Amino acid sequence: MHDPIPTVTLPSGIDVPALGQGTWNMGENAADAAREIESLKTGLSLGLTLIDTAEMYAEGGAEKVTGRAIAGKRDAVFLVSKVYPWNASRRGTIEACDRSLQRLGTDRIDLYLLHWRGDHPLADTVAAFEELQQAGKIGAWGVSNFDVDDMQALLAVPGGENVAANQVLYNLGRRGIEYDLLPFCQERNIPIMAYSPIEQGRLLHHPDLIDIAKAYQATPAQVALAFVLERDGVIAIPKTSHPHRVEENRAALDLDITDEDWAVLDAAFPPPAKKTALAML
């Protein structure tokens, strides 16, 4: 029997699962589509009802895979997608959203993000987001790959205070946001969405992580996920195309790791002692 899935509350008051599903690298090969769809459906059946995608992923291919996975289940899914920065003019954002909606086979995106900061003025992008929200095409909007200075600039434009989330790279090996960005967002009740929470698998060979995982009869990936999920206001969105890995991710929520073992991981993966540039993949 699994522990309940914890939730993170968006500024609107909506609760979403703290563990969702990513789709980066999905939709790139038609031969993999059936397995990718099965993986997403497995996650939905386990309660991982937040699915994150983007127009960038396989140039819309991941949105199409996502659309097929959620067909007939749309109301049970919290759907996140993103607009390219070069499409994020006032008119371009609206047009990009319409294309994403078509690929996803739905009439609304629950959370629509600016993928990273580009050349278009933030005020124009925010104005488009607000217009899309008023039209019912999106439920809320947010950003991705924004550091503290970017967030401050966003909050200074009209409507910027309505930002609902910031999606950034965060995992045991990429803890830079703990110095300033994470507390900045926590103080303002802006959830962090952690992409690549196991660093696309590159973390999993660390001997200390392996030792702790063995002690809990868990996998290194589960312990790495548990680290991210331990943080207040953080949503983890691991990506996998293998249904059994989705089940493994879900079971990470059942781990109860001691303070002593967290201390071992802190020594192996030290928290930041100073400001560092925002990491991106």
Residue tagged active-site, from 57, 112, 170, 195: 57
The answer to whether 57 is a known catalytic residue is yes
- The residues, any chain, with a CB within 8 Å of residue 162's CB and separated by 6 or more, are 11, 126, 129, 130, 140, 141
Tokens of 38: 């099965």
Measured distance CA(232)–CA(272) in Å, rounded: 18
List the one residue out of 167, 100, 158 whose CA is nearest residue 131: 158
List the one residue out of 241, 237, 219, 220 whose CA is nearest residue 173: 220
Side-chain half-sphere CA neighbours of 62 within 13 A: 24
Task: Enumerate long-range contacts of 268-274, CB under 8 Å, 24 or more apart.
Answer: 268/206, 268/208, 268/209, 269/172, 269/173, 269/175, 269/206, 270/175, 271/175, 271/178, 271/179, 272/175, 272/176, 272/178, 272/179, 273/179, 274/179
Q: Please, what's the b/e burial string for 52-68 (b: 16 or more CB within 10 A of its CB; e: otherwise)?
A: bbbbbbbebbbbbbbbb
Enumerate the active-site residues: 57
